[in-house]
Amino acid sequence: MVKRRMKLMLGVGALAGLLIGTTGTSFAQEIDPAIAEMGVVTDTMWLLLTAFLVFFMQAGFALIEAGSTRSKNMINIMFKNLIDFCIAALVFWMIGWGFAYGASAGGFIGTDQFFIGDMREAGSVPTLASWLFQVVFAGTAATIVSGAMAERTRFSAYLIYSVVISLIIYPVVVHWVWSGAGWLNDYDPATTGDFGFTDFAGSTIVHSVGGWAALIGAWLLGPRMGRFGPDGKPREIPGHSAALATLGVFTLWLGWYGFNPGSQLAFKSQGDADAIALVAVTTTLAAAAGAVSAMIASWIKTGKPELGVTLNGVLAGLVAITAGCAYMRPIDAVIVGLVAGPLYLISTGWMESLKIDDPVGAVPVHLVNGVWGTLAVGLFATIPGNTGTVGLFAGGGAQLLIAQIVGVLAIGAWCAVTSFILFFSIKRTIGLRVSAEEEELGLDIGEHGAVAYPDIHKMPEPEMIRAATGKPVTGTAK
Amino acid sequence: MVKRRMKLMLGVGALAGLLIGTTGTSFAQEIDPAIAEMGVVTDTMWLLLTAFLVFFMQAGFALIEAGSTRSKNMINIMFKNLIDFCIAALVFWMIGWGFAYGASAGGFIGTDQFFIGDMREAGSVPTLASWLFQVVFAGTAATIVSGAMAERTRFSAYLIYSVVISLIIYPVVVHWVWSGAGWLNDYDPATTGDFGFTDFAGSTIVHSVGGWAALIGAWLLGPRMGRFGPDGKPREIPGHSAALATLGVFTLWLGWYGFNPGSQLAFKSQGDADAIALVAVTTTLAAAAGAVSAMIASWIKTGKPELGVTLNGVLAGLVAITAGCAYMRPIDAVIVGLVAGPLYLISTGWMESLKIDDPVGAVPVHLVNGVWGTLAVGLFATIPGNTGTVGLFAGGGAQLLIAQIVGVLAIGAWCAVTSFILFFSIKRTIGLRVSAEEEELGLDIGEHGAVAYPDIHKMPEPEMIRAATGKPVTGTAK
Amino acid sequence: MVKRRMKLMLGVGALAGLLIGTTGTSFAQEIDPAIAEMGVVTDTMWLLLTAFLVFFMQAGFALIEAGSTRSKNMINIMFKNLIDFCIAALVFWMIGWGFAYGASAGGFIGTDQFFIGDMREAGSVPTLASWLFQVVFAGTAATIVSGAMAERTRFSAYLIYSVVISLIIYPVVVHWVWSGAGWLNDYDPATTGDFGFTDFAGSTIVHSVGGWAALIGAWLLGPRMGRFGPDGKPREIPGHSAALATLGVFTLWLGWYGFNPGSQLAFKSQGDADAIALVAVTTTLAAAAGAVSAMIASWIKTGKPELGVTLNGVLAGLVAITAGCAYMRPIDAVIVGLVAGPLYLISTGWMESLKIDDPVGAVPVHLVNGVWGTLAVGLFATIPGNTGTVGLFAGGGAQLLIAQIVGVLAIGAWCAVTSFILFFSIKRTIGLRVSAEEEELGLDIGEHGAVAYPDIHKMPEPEMIRAATGKPVTGTAK
């Protein structure tokens, strides 16, 4: 049976039965409740520890975006990456969790469990532990957009976006697939009406959701000044610190060991141990393969191995394996990663030909490879004991692949439409973009009244700032 | 019963009883000892893993202080933040643990267990695991001071301070509250003579202790040159890297998931799982609320959202929730955080009006919000099954609030007096502060004979250094 | 019995017996299989979590090397530290694991288990979890070399080296000692033919292996331009960021809490809990003692406390305790660390007198202190219940010390010879070293066509690059 990412609400009896089921030597009613309780302990411990790792991905995203952009915008960039998680936490506590996991209204949206309290139930993983694991995923979906819209977006516009994605765009997608009651549910042959869309840890549900919003946002925002020449040809705007960008990738990779292995949502049985070990290994191999294939691709294309491409190759591999990490053999993971690296590079070219400026490559990494990884489940999945969920190349038919395509399209449509409404509304009201003067001077001065590296860029004289931005000079660096 | 942060020395029987107690289906003597042993396993694993996370807070403190100060002092700042933990580890192993957890002399100080060895006892969490968890807290208390005294303190003076706080100032406070034998113990209705002071993970015991020492040290040291103008008005000295400061806050937030959830000191039962999940969630929400309220407060005050204020808003929220994270509902945690952010900003003004220069805001974050968080327990605490420990706004009387006030005052008096004796003695003997010439040139050159960023600041000529500092030129960058 | 670092392939029966053995109250056949299964759960969880921590050491190594070298080579340095792990992961999956843990050919090398798949066996820790724990160790051994060969090595030469060490040099050493079938096995009095060499977590097997390759590589490569003056005297080349270097040491220290405590390879019993707590504490104390003794030694030598020496003192202490962390009392660990710090400083002098340029001190840290730590086991080891494995100063004879010496020599010979063949072959074919012009301009431009910090170093004009390097200008920063 394909695991569902629903709230863990098994009673003691079910838990004991599960333990029995994997060892097969006695009846459920003979199991000592203390053993069942120990299962709650290890499940909860795993969920919390992996949530902590996923939380730290926020730092990874901040570092990559920081390293890939210019020092004059560093305060703005670090600020966005911090505050979007803070907003996500509050909004997802108030409303988002309820939309995702509350009682379902027609499989489309949840309707209760708002302002979640401390609900305790014997024999169950605490609901608050599940909330913590889910909120760090919501924060990930939210922060993906930041990089694509870097160096030119109004700070207040970004705050509004952060509220809306955590409030409704992301939670609805979660409800569709991971709530256990959504219309686009995981495949389960024993359940009539399930659709069959399968996404273990969120290639589509997290990364593509962020990626669609990033695409729409970057498109409506327009490219940074100077990103495309008068002849329309793309010009690189190098980031200000290769060290920070690389540290960001290491940090994200570490966090992915929470993201994917934690998505088992349980760690109390031999079956959990086997599944989680597989997930950790496929995650590792896909990341490594993505790096190597991206490096080689960049070497072939430009004559030199490029670091930026290779860093994004790691992330492309990680995003791509996320949907199928529990359903593939190690060798499949290597294939998924080997495709992901060059696919990143190719889709970067698509973005440039569309004149969309994505400073960190968020769309090629999270959207394009999120789609690739989701489709790869339909190609390679081999789920022990589940003959209904087997990919095309693994001896199954096209059923699963079709389900994956439908899921990608449905979620893509939801995200593209809602993101368009969101960003277009902002653009027509308070405005999405800072003035050309502010962009030139740096958002740190215009939006936050300070400079990030006073050793490198001195704070300009107040008169100059006022002349350039039309704003009063305030803030820390008076 | 309010959990005590004493050494975990439960025998197998007690452990089994505890397991039974939470499941309630059989008698203690029927429990399989293997299950009790599994409880030792999960307790110890949790204690060690969360200790590792708390250890990494040392890096977070280093990064925040580094980002908030000038590049000419970077070697000195990173050095202090590394070596203070190393000193704390050795001193706390030799003496500090014994003062904290040794056999009590009148509830004031411990008297044995010095130079702790490998004590093993069947059925118990290893004493060395408890030591590790405690030593990383000792290191946290120690390193808080570094930021408040940054950019002007003699390195050797800082080393002496590091020894003394880990040797006696901090351990005595721990003995008073967390040893299980201290005069200012946690409240427990079943025990006559307990005082009732309640601090789950150390808003007062760790953060205020460091905060008091920071306040006294920064006051006796005097402000950095140029921090206050000739007219007495404060002038900002911007830090050299917003990226490092923000990375520091992310790192501390991660470490706090060890600090607070680890302070349950156990993870073997449904009750532990429920409590720890609540702690992780209240910690998250208070941090997020602190960030948002601090951002808004800075926006209102200066017309722009300031990153530095928001970063400290996160920390203010984290410090404030630390005392009560296990005793509050999620909504209470949001309130605690919403207060913490503006409180940080207001108390920063207090410091400036007192002409005390605290480069990183250690006193507003750790002392002021440590006090706020401790008092908040007296307002909001709702401890299931413990009618004696309920806060004023949660339907209890003022009893708990009064206990909190007394605890804050008693510990504050101890820390203020001992810190004053310590820093005043240093000032009158070897001196607390470097010369004006050294401060101007940077402590890296004067104290360590090198520069941190040779790309930005070249190492001056030896003659210039000798003229400026009266010291010979030595060190790495000859 | 000294624990072997072999694949964990115990059946349920053996596992239950082990649990029984430590509690001693019933017969193996009465143990509930669910309890045995819970042991698989906690063992696997520990192995995975500590593997994640060890993975993050890759970031630590990158940061230390980055901070200790010049900004003009930063892309190259971060790139090497990322890609060597990616290569190690793929190669160790394809071949390396099989050479290390496959069926033994005469105790010298493994012969099967290549391209490892998802092997599941009831009652056992998943083989893939063991693979993940081992691959991050392989990555550590590989990346140690990077720092010693920094700022002058051809990128393609480094890629070839990365393949070979992960493919054969490191796996063969693992097979000799940790496979359970190697000729140089851990000591076990009950087994005839065992040699007695004891290395708990890899002072020799990981750190010295990397250290030997670093020594041979740095020697064949020659020193960086300007590292030794025309008079032959060494000249310091200061690193470009003390902040990054220190963050690297904090990160490595954190990772070491995976490296050493994880090497217990199990966490299911009171005995595991006791052993792991001891390991975590000895690791902490040796690191702290190494820092303090190195700081004092540098203070005595140059008149100032030097940060670089102290940072490497931490690492020296960590490397030295790695072999014996499970076999020593806390006080022994302090002694091991106190020796490690000055030993680092002294052996740095040896390197300089040999005119070998090791930019980060990899050889003094990893090779010299790896040897010291391995020999220290022969001096201080006190293994409860194992009278055959006791060090010289702990009341045993010289037997263990002799075994340690033989092991150090045998592994050293293997590594020195194979590394020499490897690097000499590269030198005579594609070349080890970049041109003098490229070295002068920075490897970032010559090897990767970009600059790491465009705010500090502008990308030169294409004509200048072509003139200096004879290479076309390509890459990101066009």
CA distance C72 to chain A (A): 11
**Tens digits of per-residue pLDDT, C41-85?**
999 999 999 999 999 999 999 999 999 999 999 999 999 999 999
A462 contact partners, CB below 8 Å, separation of at least 6: A473
Maximum average pLDDT range among A121-125, B264-268, C394-398: B264-268
Percent of chain B with pLDDT over 90: 78
| CB < 8 Å to A38, chain C | 38
Q: Is A119 on the interface with B (CB under 8 A)?
A: no
What does the pLDDT read at residue C297?
Answer: 98
CA distance A449 to chain B (A): 7
In terms of Cβ atoms closer than 10 Å to its own Cβ (0-12, 13-18, 19+), residue A233 is: exposed
Measured CA to CA in angstroms, residue B411 lies from B318, B363, B418 at distances of 20, 15, 11
Which of C270, C277, C305 faces B48 most closely, judged by CB atoms? C277
* C-alpha to C-alpha distance for C436 and C444, rounded to whole angstroms: 14
What does the pLDDT read at residue A388?
Answer: 59
pLDDT surpasses 80 at B436: yes
What does the pLDDT read at residue B461?
Answer: 74
What does the pLDDT read at residue A217?
Answer: 98
**Tens digits of per-residue pLDDT, B324-355?**
999 999 999 999 999 999 999 999 999 999 99
Are the C-beta atoms of residues C68 and C311 closer than 8 Å to each other? no
* Contact between chains at B295 and A117 (C-beta distance less than 8 A): no
Q: Is C25 on the interface with B (CB under 8 A)?
A: yes
Q: Is A254 on the interface with B (CB under 8 A)?
A: no
Section C319-326 average pLDDT:
97
What does the pLDDT read at residue C184?
Answer: 86
Which of A397, A412, A428 is where one domain is finished?
A: A428
What does the pLDDT read at residue C91?
Answer: 98
pLDDT surpasses 80 at A337: yes
* C-alpha to C-alpha distance for C363 and C367, rounded to whole angstroms: 5
CA B166, B167, B170, B175 torsion-angle sign? positive
**Tens digits of per-residue pLDDT, C79-104?**
999 999 999 999 999 999 999 999 99
* Contact between chains at A128 and B22 (C-beta distance less than 8 A): no
> Three-state SS for C390?
strand
In terms of Cβ atoms closer than 10 Å to its own Cβ (0-12, 13-18, 19+), residue C386 is: middle
Section C343-368 average pLDDT:
98
* C-alpha to C-alpha distance for A282 and A331, rounded to whole angstroms: 8
Q: Is C119 on the interface with A (CB under 8 A)?
A: no
* Contact between chains at C450 and A308 (C-beta distance less than 8 A): yes
Claim to verify: residue A412 and residue A447 sit in the same structural domain: no
Interface test with A, best of B26, B246, B252, B458 (most A CBs within 10 A): B246
* Contact between chains at C269 and B41 (C-beta distance less than 8 A): yes
CA distance C272 to chain A (A): 17
Claim to verify: residue A82 and residue A135 sit in the same structural domain: yes
Claim to verify: residue A222 and residue A280 sit in the same structural domain: yes
Interface test with A, best of B27, B304, B336, B383 (most A CBs within 10 A): B304
* Contact between chains at C82 and A291 (C-beta distance less than 8 A): yes
What does the pLDDT read at residue B362?
Answer: 98
Q: Give ipTM to 2 decimals.
A: 0.93
Band the pLDDT of B119: cuts 50, 70, 90: confident
* C-alpha to C-alpha distance for A210 and A146, rounded to whole angstroms: 9
Place of tokens 């702990």: C394
| CB < 8 Å to C34, chain A | 19-20, 23, 31-32, 35
**Tens digits of per-residue pLDDT, C182-217?**
998 765 544 444 568 999 999 999 999 999 999 999
pLDDT surpasses 50 at A128: yes
CA distance B173 to chain C (A): 23
Q: Which chains touch C (3 or more CB pairs under 8 A)?
A: A, B
**Tens digits of per-residue pLDDT, B272-283?**
999 999 999 999
Claim to verify: residue C447 and residue C341 sit in the same structural domain: no
CB burial string A110-140: b at 16+ within 10 A, e below: beebeebebebebbbbbbbbbbbbbbbbbbb
pLDDT surpasses 80 at B129: yes
CA distance B383 to chain A (A): 12
What does the pLDDT read at residue B184?
Answer: 86
Phi, psi of C139 (to 5 degrees): -65, -35
Residue B186 lies in a domain: yes
pLDDT surpasses 90 at A24: no
What does the pLDDT read at residue B166?
Answer: 97
**Tens digits of per-residue pLDDT, A433-468?**
999 999 999 999 999 999 999 887 777 777 776 666
Interface test with C, best of A304, A338, A380 (most C CBs within 10 A): A304
| CB < 8 Å to A253, chain C | 55
What does the pLDDT read at residue A11?
Answer: 34
Band the pLDDT of C31: cuts 50, 70, 90: low
Please tell me which residue, B396 or C425, carries the higher pLDDT value: C425
* C-alpha to C-alpha distance for B119 and B294, rounded to whole angstroms: 47
* Contact between chains at B314 and A87 (C-beta distance less than 8 A): no
pLDDT surpasses 90 at A107: yes
Measured torsion, CA atoms of residues A246, A251, A253, A257, in degrees rounded to the nearest 10: 170
CA distance B454 to chain A (A): 12
* C-alpha to C-alpha distance for C465 and C478, rounded to whole angstroms: 12
Please tell me which residue, C472 or A47, carries the higher pLDDT value: A47
| CB < 8 Å to A125, chain B | 273
Q: Is C434 on the interface with A (CB under 8 A)?
A: no
Residue B264 lies in a domain: yes
Q: Domain of A109: which CATH number? A: 1.10.3430.10
Claim to verify: residue C316 and residue C450 sit in the same structural domain: no
Dmax (CA) for chain B in angstroms is 81
Taking only residues 207 to 246 of chain B, the set having a beta carbon closer than 8 angstroms to any beta carbon of chain C reads 241, 244
What does the pLDDT read at residue C269?
Answer: 96
Claim to verify: residue B457 and residue B413 sit in the same structural domain: no
How many domains, in total, are found in chain C?
2
For residue C398, what is the DSSP state? S
Place of tokens 């800072």: A434
Dmax (CA) for chain C in angstroms is 81
Which of B240, B272, B295 faces A83 most closely, judged by CB atoms? B295
Residue B1 lies in a domain: no
Q: C326 has which bridge partners?
A: none
Q: Is C432 on the interface with B (CB under 8 A)?
A: no
Section A201-217 average pLDDT:
98
pLDDT surpasses 50 at A191: no
Residue B5 lies in a domain: no
Domain extent for B287: 13-428
Claim to verify: residue C383 and residue C454 sit in the same structural domain: no
Residue closest to B305 by CA, chosen among B317, B315, B292, B318 = B292
Taking only residues 77 to 106 of chain C, the set having a beta carbon closer than 8 angstroms to any beta carbon of chain A reads 78-79, 81-83, 85-87, 89-90, 93
Cα R_g (chain A), whole angstroms:
23
What does the pLDDT read at residue B195?
Answer: 60
Residue A122 lies in a domain: yes
Claim to verify: residue A446 and residue A411 sit in the same structural domain: no
* Contact between chains at B247 and A62 (C-beta distance less than 8 A): yes
pLDDT surpasses 50 at C465: yes
Residue B234 lies in a domain: yes
| CB < 8 Å to B476, chain C | 236, 238, 306-309
Claim to verify: residue B71 and residue B198 sit in the same structural domain: yes
End-to-end CA distance of chain B: 61
Percent of chain C with pLDDT over 70: 86
Residue C2 lies in a domain: no
Residue closest to C456 by CA, chosen among A238, B62, A444 = A238
pTM to 2 decimal places: 0.94
Which of C38, C82, C126 faces A310 most closely, judged by CB atoms? C82
* Contact between chains at C454 and A281 (C-beta distance less than 8 A): no
**Tens digits of per-residue pLDDT, B367-420?**
999 999 999 999 999 866 565 578 888 888 888 899 999 999 999 999 999 999
Residue closest to B191 by CA, chosen among B472, B420, B1 = B1
For residue C350, count other CB atoms closer than 10 A to its CB: 12
Taking only residues 275 to 294 of chain C, the set having a beta carbon closer than 8 angstroms to any beta carbon of chain B reads 276-278, 280-281, 284-285, 287-289, 291-292
Claim to verify: residue A345 and residue A274 sit in the same structural domain: yes
Dmax (CA) for chain A in angstroms is 81
Q: Is A8 on the interface with B (CB under 8 A)?
A: no
Claim to verify: residue B334 and residue B461 sit in the same structural domain: no
Measured torsion, CA atoms of residues A348, A354, A356, A362, in degrees rounded to the nearest 10: -30
Which two structure tokens, joined as six digits, stand for B181? 């034998």
Residue B475 lies in a domain: no
Residue closest to C360 by CA, chosen among C152, C71, C61, C59 = C61
Claim to verify: residue B446 and residue B424 sit in the same structural domain: no
Residue closest to A108 by CA, chosen among A163, A174, A166 = A174
According to the 3-state scheme, what is the secondary structure of chain A? CCCCCCCCCCCHHHHHHHHHHHHCCCCHHHCCHHHHHHHHHHHHHHHHHHHHHHHHHHHHHHHHHHHCCCHHHHHHHHHHHHHHHHHHHHHHHHHHHHHHHCCEECCCEECCCCCCCCCCCCCCCCHHHHHHHHHHHHHHHHHHHHHHCCCCECHHHHHHHHHHHHHHHHHHHHHHHHCCCCCCCECCCCCCCCCECCCCCCHHHHHHHHHHHHHHHHHHHCCCCCCECCCCCECCCCCCCHHHHHHHHHHHHHHHHHHHHHCCCCCCCHHHHHHHHHHHHHHHHHHHHHHHHHHHHHHHHHCCCCHHHHHHHHHHHHHHHHCCCCCCCHHHHHHHHHHHHHHHHHHHHHHHHCCCCCCCCHHHHHHHHHHHHHHHHHHHCECCCCCCCECHHHCCCCHHHHHHHHHHHHHHHHHHHHHHHHHHHHHHCCCCECCHHHHHHCHHHHHHCCCCCCCCCCCCCHHHHHHHHCCCCCCCCC
- Binning chain B into helix, strand and coil, the percentages to the nearest 5 are 65, 5, 30
Q: What is the DSSP string of B322-380?
A: HTTTTTS-HHHHHHHHHHHHHHHHHHHHHHHHTT---TT-HIIIIIIHHHHHHHHHHHH
- A332 to chain C: nearest residue by CA? C117
Q: How many helices (H) and strands (E) does chain C have?
A: 18, 2
| CB < 8 Å to B330, chain A | 93, 115-118, 128
What does the pLDDT read at residue C390?
Answer: 84
Section C155-171 average pLDDT:
97
Please tell me which residue, A351 or C399, carries the higher pLDDT value: A351
- A125 to chain B: nearest residue by CA? B273
| CB < 8 Å to C132, chain A | 277, 280-281, 284
Q: Which chains touch B (3 or more CB pairs under 8 A)?
A: A, C
Section C439-446 average pLDDT:
95
pLDDT surpasses 90 at A325: yes
Band the pLDDT of B96: cuts 50, 70, 90: very high
